[in-house]
A and B are shown apart, each in its own frame.
Chain A
Amino acid sequence: MDIGSQFLTGLAVALQADNLMYCALGVIAGTLVGVLPGIGPTAAIGLLLPATYQLSPTSAIIMLAGISYGAMYGGSITSILVKIPGEAASVITCMDGYQMTRNGRAGPALGIAAFGSFIAGTIAVLGVMLLAPTLARVALKFGAAEYFSLMLMSLMIVTYLVRGSMINALIMGALGLFLGSIGMDPINGRERFTYGFLPLSDGIGIVPVVIGLFGVAEVLENIGTRTDLQVFKVKVRGLLPSRRDWKDSAFPIARGTTLGFFAGIFPGISPMIPTFLSYAIEKRLSRHPEKFGTGAIEGVAAPEACNNATATSNFIPLLSLGIPSNAFNAVLLGALMIYGLQPGPALITTNPDFFWGVIASMYIGNVMLLILNVPLIPMWVWLLRIPYHVLAILILVFCFVGAYSVSNSIYDVVITFVFGFVGIVIKRFGFESAPLILAFVLAPMLEISFRQSMLFSDGSFSIFVTQPIALTFIVLSVLVLIAGLVRPKPVFVRESGSED
């Protein structure tokens, strides 16, 4: 097979000693920036780029790609241990990962995240190898109407599946959409709800909001509740997933991987969407949905597999079309240009060694991540023994430094703090933050794709029903909405006092 031999050539490139070293450096740095909230892979690359000028483009991109998927894994570590999502893609991992930690199961949670990511990464690399050129073309068929209806459906499904009433969830979703509309109007550039305040003109940042709603809110809430006696008091049970955990996680990992992989081929779709969806799907399929939110291992395994698969398949539009699907890939693209390589449709044919070398290195990088992270699990779990009154301060420091570092803005720190309080209020009144966050993240894309559709159709809504793909998504959204409103949802048995 042609592709097989090309991949072997790539493997030979990736296994060269220097490339192996850069791959290792990349995944280690990636894990680190993933652990540090806010200092995401995008900022990390910006910092590291000058240090890579002397490298060959292949080595440099191998290292930078390592940062990308390393960060995906690192982000889950803080989500699980202290409820700070290191990356937007690991927000949903907080839900059950952190509860597992509080139940004394931080080890299995970290373990399943590592193995799940590894399995997903491996399968996704195979997918990139075999399907890249074909899938990239398929994604191009999606126009504004398809994007809009797909995002609407994602939002509806997540709203439907959170705990509590659908009305409450819809209120949170609407609040998220409102928050997401602050800033510059994406069509005509007018400012909305900014009151002439320049830092608001680009809207509120995602990272400050999620760090505030999760990390800061958790710490603030624990103030004055003698949490040192409660939070992590439970004895740590087991450091690795048990046979039972594996049985529970196998299918969630497979489904998360598949969903993540296909979501990743569409440029501009936030990795948050597939992770939220995969969480929602697992909850729906589970035989004990009431356990979700209280430490169900499936709620960690599926989204973690999913975000790794997405990060990997995001390389499909980047490497085969030259289209970056996220901020991180945009930086990679810039790096390619600095190295004098022209990304785009011709890249695979003009630089096969580069293309296949990078792909093969992604596979090797996943192996390294596993070797690197599994032995580290005891160390992370050990960190939890730090007395909570000390740990809480460290968490807050991390939260604020992280929020600041995203765009070097002190306003982001203020926003993080404000959303810490918002998070407490939301929880006290029995609302869930998941629909708020997803709606907030989706709002700009949802709005722009809706308004693009209206521009395409001269303001006629028919555009959503005359195109088959869009129609399917719209019908599904309506069905989910009706299902949630007309009869009690089957899955929101509220655990009494398990969390709040």
Chain B
Amino acid sequence: MFHCLFRTSLIASVAWIALQPGLSLAQDAKFPTKSIEVVVPFAPGGITDVGSRIVSEYYSKELGVPLVIRNQPGGGGLTGSAAYMNATPDGYTILAGIAGSIVSNVLLSRNPPFDPRRDLRPIGYIGDSPVAFLVHKDSPYKTFEELITYAKANPGKLRIGVSSLGGETHIMYTSILKDTKADLRMIPYPGTGQSVAALLGQHIDGLTLSLPASMPYASSGEMRVLLLTRRTPIFPDVPAGADIGLPSVSINFWLGYLALPKTPPAALEKLEAALKRAASDPELSKKLAQAGFTVDYRDSAGFAKLIDSNWTILSQVIKETGMKTD
């Protein structure tokens, strides 16, 4: 099977070279001449992994070399991202980053292993997917306001499941606490599966969950989405945090690519341009939409700005709520 895989990529690269006559002559810098490794700091099968695998197919087409995903999970994405700091800055190793792995977990770490604003150079931002707040179909709450009204009258009574400590679902929960000042009780789960099972079995009252993981249950009617971190056409009637006066409830599950700051400018330029072209492929948009992502391409500068703004919002949330995972 290794051979099979290897052969597929080999054929792909040979075919590509055949289709691009005179490429190396036309361009001064030869980057890339070999396959590029994408460090995904999460386990295979997770949203970041699924998203990066979909993007890789198209990104690889634009770059003309195979993209190899390397999963290096641990520490909410911090382990793989921190290890990436020691990679050779030649553009042949890039990092898939999300808010959890390069912003919130860094902010929450007692000894931050890096500063994303200084130690990482954004290549481009692919898009995002909102985080959802869900209740069971038999839950008495039809709107998020009803739930909060109840929570305020009965402090500590409502139990809300969270499935990624320091990650996006935890951020949404904590942002809700900050903006509503309600007293909810967090029940952490070691994985999405367990938290979904707990809500389906009505062991908890609510759950923060990524949109892709929520869609099957929301569309089958077993769960109701009450709140999102941003609006989405998939659930046109569900408000975003900003719509109901909860401005901090706005950190999405995003996906972007980053490199090391010392990467040669010529390589960075190629990486950026190829990602931009891949992001404009309607087929990619369609595939990502099936996985719950909306393509919302931003270039390097736009991505840097987003990291900055997430950094500011989260510092505030963490300071005001005492959110901790150190």
Contact = CB atoms under 8 A, between A and B. Distances in A.
A165 B39 CA distance: 48
A435 interface: no
Contact of B197 (A189, A321, A333, A344): A321
B26 interface: no
B212 A337 contact: yes
Given A330-B46, A409-B72, A455-B187, A267 B290 contact: no
Interface in A169-220: 184, 186-191, 196, 198-199, 201-202
Nearest to B203: A143
B21 interface: no
B75 A198 contact: yes
Contacts of A311: none
A188 B222 CA distance: 29
Interface residues of B, number: 62
B36 interface: no
A448 interface: yes
A323 to B, nearest CB: 4
B270 interface: no
A189 B166 contact: yes
Interface string B165-176: 110000000000
Interface in A445-460: 445, 448, 452, 455-456
B203 A144 contact: yes
B165 A29 contact: no
Interface string B44-79: 111001100110110000000000011111110011
A33 to B, nearest CB: 9
A390 to B, nearest CB: 24
Interface in B142-201: 159, 165-166, 185, 187-194, 196-198, 200-201
Contacts of A452: 187-189
Interface in B87-125: 108, 110-111, 113
Contacts of A202: 73-75, 79
B19 interface: no
Contacts of B166: 189
Report the interface size class on chain A.
35 or more
B79 A267 contact: no
A444 B190 contact: yes
A242 interface: no
A345 B220 CA distance: 7
A141 B111 CA distance: 41
A271 to B, nearest CB: 15
Contact of A51 (B4, B75, B188, B194): B4
A327 B45 contact: yes
Contacts of A325: 193
Contact of A342 (B69, B191, B216, B287): B216
A139 interface: yes
Interface string B200-224: 1101000000001001110110100
Contacts of B212: 337
Contacts of A190: 324-326
Nearest to A194: B75
A50 B220 contact: no
Contact of A184 (B53, B165, B198): B165
A346 B219 CA distance: 9
A334 B217 contact: no
A333 B45 CA distance: 7
B217 A51 contact: no
A321 B79 CA distance: 31
A50 B5 contact: yes
B291 A322 contact: no
A324 B56 CA distance: 24
A289 interface: no
Contact of B50 (A43, A338, A445): A338
A25 interface: yes
A322 B196 contact: yes
B8 interface: yes
A238 to B, nearest CB: 33
Contact of A455 (B159, B200, B292): B159
A141 B202 CA distance: 9
18 contacts: A45-B44, A47-B1, A48-B5, A51-B8, A188-B165, A189-B165, A198-B74, A198-B75, A198-B82, A267-B197, A322-B216, A335-B45, A337-B212, A338-B291, A344-B217, A345-B222, A347-B216, A448-B190
For the complex of A and B, the 8 pairs showing the least CB-CB separation, nearest first, are A344-B216, A189-B325, A140-B201, A331-B45, A334-B45, A46-B44, A330-B45, A202-B74
Interface of A: 25, 29, 32, 42-51, 53, 139-144, 184, 186-191, 196, 198-199, 201-202, 267-268, 317, 321-325, 327, 330-335, 337-338, 340, 342-347, 407-409, 444-445, 448, 452, 455-456
Given A51-B4, A342-B219, A452-B189, 4 more contacts: A191-B326, A330-B192, A334-B49, A345-B217
